Structure 1
Amino acid sequence: MDTDSKIKLNVSNGTAHVWSLEDIARLRREHQICGLLTGTLPHVAQQNVFLGLPLQLMPEEVVLLIEHGAAVLVDEQASHRIPTGSQLNSWQQQQKSKAQSSIPPLVDSTLNTPNLSEDQIQKRRLREEKRLAAAQRSTTPTEVSEDRLKATDSSNALQTAYNVDVPGASVEHPWYSPIVYESLESARAAGLWTFPNTQSEKARCAVFRDLWKQGYFMGIGIKFGGDWLVYPGDPLRYHSHFVATVHGGSKDHISPMEVVAHGRLGTATRKSHLLCKWHEQEDRVEYFSIEWAGFG
């Protein structure tokens, strides 16, 4: 696959994000990768229900995509150059011209608007006359000046909706030159990406890969006491069936109390808990399912 056609994963501070809507759709449709939308609007930054771009990926998802040649890593910080004065001025002029060209001419009078029917024009005229009469009754004659009447007429004019394009992703900037890494080894050598580094992280990647090959979708499972939520299909269509926890080290063990906690929590949330064990020598994943059973 050509590098230009691969999905761009923008890495900053050790976290990979996707800014392209087309790439997000491809991740979900072609690669069983959902990620997590994390973006908010500047004026409602504390809103955390309906999130937007960018899409943040789990490190296991990043490793899987790179290993399968479906994506490349982009060093977001190093890709930004300092713009020259001429570049910045030219870009600002282009944005200003684009915004001005998208604004339609203002309509001086609502009565001359071809989009309104005769009945709508008549109703609008009556509303304006009532509003103006009410304003005149609430003030003395000396306070109602000609300028105020003109301002009232102007404010009540038909407000035509229009869209203004604003700069989106940084790839649109002329001073942005992406530095791309196609393999985990090259990104690790450059200090951009280090996951997986420990035995536990390697085990997580192995288990994630094995579940992914079986056709499952994975989501973040911290709310349910595990590493991932495991879905039988797209999370927009299915509820998760399992909560998965990875136990990767050769000396890793699990206490009876933890088994009970996983079983009760999973059953309370209508899921089974998967204990996942990666055998490195055989490159094999073993699963144990825990589900609380009622007695008596």
Structure 2
Amino acid sequence: MAPVRITVSNRRAFVWDVDDIAVIRSQHRICGLLTGTLPRLAQQNAFLGVPLVLMPQEVALLVDKGFAVLVDDALSHRFPSQAEANRWADLQTADIESQLTAAEELARSRHTNAADKSMSEEAVRKRKAREAKRAAKTQQADDSAVFAPQQPEEDAVPAAQASVFTISLPASSTGMPWYEPEGKAYATLDAARAAGLWMYPETLQDRAQYGVFRDMWEQGFFMGIGIRFGADYLVYPGDPLRYHSHFAATVIEAPDAPMRPMEIVAHGRLGTATKKAHLLCSWDDEKRTVSYLSIEWAGFG
């Protein structure tokens, strides 16, 4: 399987292809965060769409494992010629028209099949009532010899209204002929760093955060952002769409890094209040290992 393309713009990483988003979530346990608005529903924020924004730790992991490559977004786009733009627009229009034709034919066949069915008893009763009413009006007009304008039938079929169909459009720009990522992709973090495209991890804090993220990911966990719970990460036993997080994890840069007692108390109480255990994850930069300490608030007396 070809590596997923992660486009980098202004030191931020995005995934634009919906198929790539599905792959990294279902196969590589990387969730990211959808930030794009939905068409015609730009004001709502309950459901979002592409692009998918990745944490720096997620980007580093995907590239280190060979699951993805980093693409310089600024250099991958070129200005299209007028002929290319017109050709691409014509292809899009032809695709939309073919989908509309297929949808209209399907709707027409369903309507024909429904009309071919025998009328129900209720329809027969209404038809007889209309015929009786029409006959009574005709007789009344003959007796009084007074002209009365014909009233529209109650069950007359209303004027045809425009049908609404759902049209599928590509959710990726990779099909555009003026998008050329070949030659602007980097398969390793070192290559991307040498090109000035991606510098993470750079500091001790970066290495500690990435080391903890990678170690827990390799143990089979899903990792999410934990800032809402006073931590660096939320740790899930499975996909966050199906499971609640079991741990809130805080990264400590070194085994001998100082920590105030009030921090430990706060982490324990907050974790317990949100039905989680709080993990203190200590990173050893020399040994490249992580040690874990789980704390949980307990009442006495």
Contact persistence 1:104–1:162 (CA under 8 A): no
C-alpha distance in 1, partners of 2:257/2:235? 22
Gaps of 5+ in 2: 131-155
Match of 2:214?
209
Match of 2:38?
41
Following superposition of structure 1 onto structure 2, how do residues 1-296 of structure 1 map, counting pairs within 5 Å? 5-104=2-101, 113-117=111-115, 119=119, 156-157=159-160, 159-178=162-181, 179-249=184-254, 252-296=257-301
C-alpha distance in 2, partners of 1:193/1:20? 20
Match of 1:150?
none
C-alpha distance in 1, partners of 2:247/2:47? 25
Contact persistence 2:255–2:282 (CA under 8 A): no
C-alpha distance in 1, partners of 2:158/2:38? 28
Q: How many equivalent pairs are there?
A: 264
Gaps of 5+ in 1: 130-152
Contact persistence 1:274–1:288 (CA under 8 A): yes
C-alpha distance in 1, partners of 2:67/2:75? 22
Deviation by residue 1:205-252 (Cα, 9 ceiling, x = unmatched): 111111111111111111100011011222223211110011115773
Contact persistence 1:279–1:285 (CA under 8 A): yes
Letter of the aligned partner of 2:185 in structure 1? V
Q: Residues 155 and 244 from structure 1, CA distance in 2 versus in 1: closer, same or farther, beyond 3 angstroms?
A: farther
C-alpha distance in 2, partners of 1:47/1:155? 35
Contact persistence 1:200–1:249 (CA under 8 A): no
Letter of the aligned partner of 1:235 in structure 2? P
C-alpha distance in 2, partners of 1:272/1:165? 44
C-alpha distance in 2, partners of 1:192/1:242? 33
Normalising by the residue count of structure 1, what TM-score does the alignment of the two structures yield?
0.80
Normalising by the residue count of structure 2, what TM-score does the alignment of the two structures yield?
0.79
Deviation by residue 1:64-100 (Cα, 9 ceiling, x = unmatched): 1111111111112211110012111221222222222
Q: Residues 155 and 258 from structure 1, CA distance in 2 versus in 1: closer, same or farther, beyond 3 angstroms?
A: farther
- The RMSD of aligned alpha carbons is 2.8
Contact persistence 1:231–1:239 (CA under 8 A): yes
C-alpha distance in 2, partners of 1:167/1:25? 15
Partner of 2:7, secondary structure, is: strand
Deviation by residue 1:122-167 (Cα, 9 ceiling, x = unmatched): 79x99xx9xxxxxxxxxxxxxxxxxxxxxxx998315444343435
Partner of 1:43, secondary structure, is: coil
Contact persistence 1:11–1:73 (CA under 8 A): yes
Q: Residues 183 and 98 from structure 1, CA distance in 2 versus in 1: closer, same or farther, beyond 3 angstroms?
A: same
Contact persistence 1:199–1:249 (CA under 8 A): no
Match of 1:149?
none
Deviation by residue 1:21-55 (Cα, 9 ceiling, x = unmatched): 32222212222212222221243333221222222
Partner of 1:16, secondary structure, is: strand
Q: Which segment drifts farther, 27-36 or 249-258? A: 249-258
